[in-house]
Amino acid sequence: MEKQPRLLSSQLSLQNRVCDVTLNCVVLTWKERETTKKRVSGSFLGSSRAAGSHCVPVCEIIAVQETTEACQSNDAGRWQMVPQQPSESEQHAFTVSYVERMRGHRWRCSEVTFHCTDWRLCQQWIQTIKEQLSQLTSRPKSLLVYINPYGGKQRGKWIYEHKVAPVFSRASISTDVIVTECANHARNHLKKEADLKKYDGVVCVGGDGMFSEILHGLISRTQCDSGVDENCAETLVPSALRIGIIPAGSTDCICFATVGTNDPVTSALHIVIGDSQPMDVCSVHHNNTFLRYSVSLLGYGFFGDVLTDSERKRWMGPARYDISGVKTFLSHRYYEGTISFLPAADIFGTPRDKIKCRSGCSVCQKQSTEKLTEEEREGSYGVWRVTRGKFLAINAASMSCACPRTPKGLSPAAHLADGTTDLILIRKCSRLDFLRHLLRHTNKDDQFDHTFVEVHRVQQFRFTPKHWEGGSELDLCESKNRLFGQICRQQPVCGCAPAHSSWNCDGEILPQTTIHVRVHCQLIKLFARGIEEKTVFEDPYTLCAV
């Protein structure tokens, strides 16, 4: 790779050690020297050998500022901030804040302070770094923040104030913050009221449910502003604003699957440096009427029943999913129905691929660079296939759905932005077999390697539950209620298991079960970059190998 021209190169002091500090358009590097301290006009010069070397890509510098040092005043005994004055004999300093990678995909904001005796040199460094940062046009300057104070362990406000706001303020990002007052507050505000021209992005402080509100608000607003009808449009208009997720919910699967960890500071740093990760969005329709969007899991049967049961236990917080999970597992219900699906072409790979979607994924990039017409794209998919049977679960994962419960995810090889979803069909099997399958989500074994599991990479699918095939869903639903009453559905003591489950759509229960799902490739963008390969953590210098 071509060597970048140096913008600045000086010998500066760092914790009383002499450093060779260099800035080019791509990286800031500093190398410590062992020195026989000899001051020469604002810089230290001395006999030296390389003692430690650091390298920070310019795109991962958060901010630079002149450093004021805390000095103790003699008489009052209190600490005061004393700004540096332009004097020849004194030390001047500037501090660079930058991203540092920790274990487990976590990022931290680190700082390094360089000293020198030449005030002009100090100002030149500050100015030059600021100029470099101002050229990074993908960084947001103004954000609209929504906080759900009741998500997860109800710590959304605290997390924002203590972990995120200081990082935004360090990066001079201005924010308008709205603490939601009820469910759908954020969605409706985005859809109808927010002056979106003022912002470079929207930040969601909460869980997957809160993210879903922001997603719906933003997509609906974009379609409305572009005159697109969500009920009948086959192609939707992508939103211009990126969404940042500060995890403060119970599952936080969308954050985990796009960043690799659920850590508010890491997410704040991805926002500050202006990362961008496109993401697929599924639209769900019932009889040509738009119902909802989904980006993670659309689950019928097991995950639908877990969610339905857990909604009555919201007061328990995140533990509700485990209690409802065990209860649903023990009830071992299966459901009959027909699934038809449009398989994705071979070029999209399969859900059993060993290769995973990671930062800069070539499979996803192909989608954004290949300029296929709608017709060509349509032609590259196969013909509709139909399958029917008795299912314990039907899951569609548009992304891996990795989360702390299953770090590899429901579909480990699913791609964030390839325009497909992985359709996982778990046919009726014994409790023991189903448990084996569930357990494999938590270890290295392949959860698809069972005779009762089928998995397809698809671009669209339809589902019709057996008892409603050919009939009107609502009519039959009402007549069923009249016939068997509430008791049968909630506690089937009479032995007649309910004939239908519900769809869990990113943590929301859908009102209908007969659905048509279409994947919209890269409809939205997040302030994220996908999960980074381990090598980046093991050897951060690979980032600087330019």
Ligand X SMILES: Nc1ncnc2c1ncn2[C@@H]1O[C@H](COP(=O)(O)OP(=O)(O)OP(=O)(O)O)[C@@H](O)[C@H]1O
Ligand Y SMILES: CCCCCCCCCCCCC/C=C/[C@@H](O)[C@H](CO)NC(=O)CCCCCCCCCCCCCCC
Q: Any idea what the Cα angle at residue 419 is, between residues 418 and 421, rounded to 5°?
A: 95
Site for ligand X, residues 211 to 230, rule: CB under 6 A: 213
**The dihedral of CA 327, 331, 332, 338: what is its sign?**
negative
Of 206-214, 456-464, 467-475, 489-497, the window that binds ligand X (rule: CB under 6 A) is: 206-214
Active site residue 275: no
- Which does residue 297 bind out of ligand Y, Ca ion, ligand X, none, counting CB within 5 to 8 angstroms by kind? ligand Y
- Which does residue 326 bind out of Ca ion, ligand X, ligand Y, none, counting CB within 5 to 8 angstroms by kind? ligand Y
If one asks whether residue 319 binds ligand Y (CB under 6 A), the answer comes out as no
The distance of closest approach from Cβ of residue 205 to ligand X in the complex, given in angstroms and rounded to an integer, is 8
Kindly report the number of other CB atoms within 10 A of residue 256's CB atom: 27
Question: What are the tokens at 363?
Answer: 């499979």
- When binding is defined by CB under 6 A, the residue of 61, 210, 393, 453 that contacts ligand X is 210
Site for ligand X, residues 171 to 200, rule: CB under 6 A: 180-185
Q: Which is nearer to ligand X, 213 or 263 (CB)?
A: 213
If one asks whether residue 200 binds ligand Y (CB under 6 A), the answer comes out as no
Q: How buried is 486 (Cβ within 10 angstroms: 0-12 exposed, 13-18 middle, 19+ buried)?
A: exposed
Q: How buried is 459 (Cβ within 10 angstroms: 0-12 exposed, 13-18 middle, 19+ buried)?
A: buried
If one asks whether residue 4 binds ligand Y (CB under 6 A), the answer comes out as no
Measured CA to CA, the distance from residue 92 to residue 521 in angstroms comes to 52
User: What are the start-end ranges of the H helices in 275-429?
Assistant: 302-311, 320-331, 362-369, 374-379
List Cβ neighbours of 188 (8 Å cut-off, separation of 6 or more).
Answer: 217
If one asks whether residue 401 binds ligand Y (CB under 6 A), the answer comes out as yes
The distance of closest approach from Cβ of residue 445 to Ca ion in the complex, given in angstroms and rounded to an integer, is 23
Q: By CB under 6 A, how many residues form the interface with ligand X?
A: 22
Which residue in 170, 208, 169, 178 sits closest to 64, CA to CA? 170
Measured CA to CA, the distance from residue 361 to residue 353 in angstroms comes to 14
Q: By CB under 6 A, how many residues form the interface with ligand Y?
A: 27
Look at phi and psi of residue 530 and say left if phi exceeds 0, alpha if psi is from -120 to 50, else beta.
Answer: left
Binding site for Ca ion (CB under 5 A): 280, 398, 415, 418
Question: What are the tokens at 143?
Answer: 């954000």
Q: Which is nearer to Ca ion, 21 or 364 (CB)?
A: 364
Query: Measured in Å, how far apart are the chain's first and last C-alpha atoms?
Result: 6
Site for ligand Y, residues 234 to 263, rule: CB under 6 A: 251, 253
- Which does residue 280 bind out of Ca ion, ligand Y, ligand X, none, counting CB within 5 to 8 angstroms by kind? Ca ion
If one asks whether residue 299 binds ligand X (CB under 6 A), the answer comes out as no
If one asks whether residue 406 binds ligand Y (CB under 6 A), the answer comes out as yes
The distance of closest approach from Cβ of residue 55 to ligand Y in the complex, given in angstroms and rounded to an integer, is 37
> How distant, in Å, are the alpha carbons of 167, 277, 354, 415, 529 from that of 537?
22, 19, 21, 22, 14
Catalytic residue among 118, 200, 208, 449: 208
- When binding is defined by CB under 6 A, the residue of 8, 20, 102, 209 that contacts ligand X is 209
Q: Which is nearer to Ca ion, 117 or 398 (CB)?
A: 398
If one asks whether residue 339 binds ligand Y (CB under 6 A), the answer comes out as no
Q: Which is nearer to ligand X, 144 or 413 (CB)?
A: 144
Q: What residue has token string 């697929």? A: 280
Measured CA to CA, the distance from residue 406 to residue 215 in angstroms comes to 24
Q: Which is nearer to ligand X, 99 or 159 (CB)?
A: 159
Active-site annotation, residues:
208
The residues that touch ligand X, with contacts defined as CB under 6 A, are: 148-152, 180-185, 206-210, 213, 249-252, 507
